Amino acid sequence: MEFTNVIRKVTEGTAVCTGTPGEIFPLLCPVREYDWIDNWSCDMVYSSSGIAELGCVFRHDGGWGVETWTVTGYEPDTAISFVRVLDGMWVVTLELTLTPASPATTELRGKATVTALGPKGAELLRTRPVEEVSLSFEGLFTTLDHYLRTGKKILLQEVKPTAS
């Protein structure tokens, strides 16, 4: 067996969002993401309940091609994790944890680990910010918090990154 240690990148983010873990956790679901993520779409492949659950599988095109997502960890109101695969490009492990920050807010922590599966994925990881390939936790958490505060989606072009 030949072992090749290809390129891998990690991105992490933390934010405090309006709402309790019990209010936020159900929104971390491919079906409920239609409520709060602008231009979200997916195809549910498998879910016995019709929503996110351990072993749920769905497909989503995030701009690089159609990825297959699997829910690999599911602890209601505490944590959810996914594995995302884009054949020949990369595999992404995505972990989200929720911790009460106050009676009305929740600290969200996200970690994404992207591992290239082929030359094209490796080239993108070498030349692009990992957040562009994986996701921007800042954008995700800003979008989620806006929905929790207003009950409405924020348009993607309205999500402004903060200055570093």
Tens digits of residue pLDDT in 8-54: 999 999 999 999 999 999 999 999 999 999 989 999 999 999 999 99
Tens digits of residue pLDDT in 107-142: 999 999 999 998 999 999 999 988 887 778 998 999
Tens digits of residue pLDDT in 52-76: 999 999 999 988 899 999 999 999 9
pLDDT(88) > 50: yes
Cα–Cα dist 39/142, whole Å: 16
The residue behind tokens 């929740």 is: 106
CB-side neighbour CA atoms (13 Å) of 12: 3
**Beta carbons within 8 Å of 114's beta carbon, 6+ residues apart:** 8, 9, 10, 11, 90, 91, 92, 125, 130, 133, 134
Domains of the chain: residue spans and CATH: 8-158 (3.30.530.20)
Q: What is the pTM of this model?
A: 0.90
